[in-house]
Amino acid sequence: MPARRVPRCPLDACSPTVLTVALRSGAHTEEDRPKMSAPAGWYPDPERQGLQRHWNGEAWTNDRRATPSPRAPLARRRMSPHAILASALGVGAMLILTIVIVVSLANRSEPISSAAQYSPAEYDYLVAVRDIVNVPWSADVESHMLETGHQACDLYADFPDIPRSEMVERARGYGAATDERLAAVFAEASAHLCPR
């Protein structure tokens, strides 16, 4: 098969688009070529390989340049040692804060040791008091709160003439926040733990 002859365009005869169409269609004469125009810009030089030639929108100019090589990808910027240290410290602080929050919430909502070791009344009392006390819950706190509840029941039994609601109000009368919690513990003991 004979090699295809590349048409040579006179400087003003064909635009880059016409040249491309001519090359693809095999048109060899100006009459065979469609009349089209490409926008102004740099195009592959139809006469010299490896160069670009400027098309002004109507005709080729004498301006030529080497075909630009493809751009290399931009190098990634590296973080400075100070930025790396600051990031590491920030991540570490967030991790420590998360651990502290999770541990404190886990301790606070820790279940009562074992429902089997308590009577239903004691268990109900401990469940009610756990949210009032607002301290990390443990077996020691559990036994202390149960002891406090039984002491409240003993007070109710020792002073049957004083209504339980009045005893709760007397416990509140001290005014401190701990006394407020103690009054709530007395009320829960009265509701769940102490016989009527």
Residue 43 lies in a domain: yes
Tell me the per-residue pLDDT of 57-116, one tens digit each, with 9 for 90 and over: 888 898 999 888 877 777 777 888 888 888 888 888 888 888 877 776 665 554 566 666
Same domain for 168 and 111? yes
- 18 pLDDT exceeds 60? no
Instruction: Give the angle 180-151-132 at the CA atoms, nearest 5°.
Output: 30
Residue 3 lies in a domain: no
Same domain for 59 and 130? no
Burial 161-179 (b: 16+ CB within 10 A, else e): eeebeebbeebbeeeeeee
Same domain for 112 and 182? yes
The pLDDT mean for the chain works out to: 72
Does the pTM exceed 0.85? no
Residue 186 lies in a domain: yes
Domain extent, residue 27, equals 16-66
What pLDDT does 20 receive?
A: 53
The structural domain count of the chain equals 2
Same domain for 180 and 120? yes
Tell me the per-residue pLDDT of 32-58, one tens digit each, with 9 for 90 and over: 444 557 888 999 988 888 899 998 988
User: Mean pLDDT lowest for which of 25-34, 36-45, 110-119, 128-137?
Assistant: 25-34
Residue 53 backbone phi and psi in degrees, to 5: -125, 145
Residue 92 lies in a domain: no
Residue 82 lies in a domain: no
Same domain for 117 and 189? yes
Percentage of the chain modeled with pLDDT above 90: 1
Residue 9 lies in a domain: no
Give dist(CA 126, CA 136) in Å, integer.
Answer: 14
Same domain for 44 and 113? no
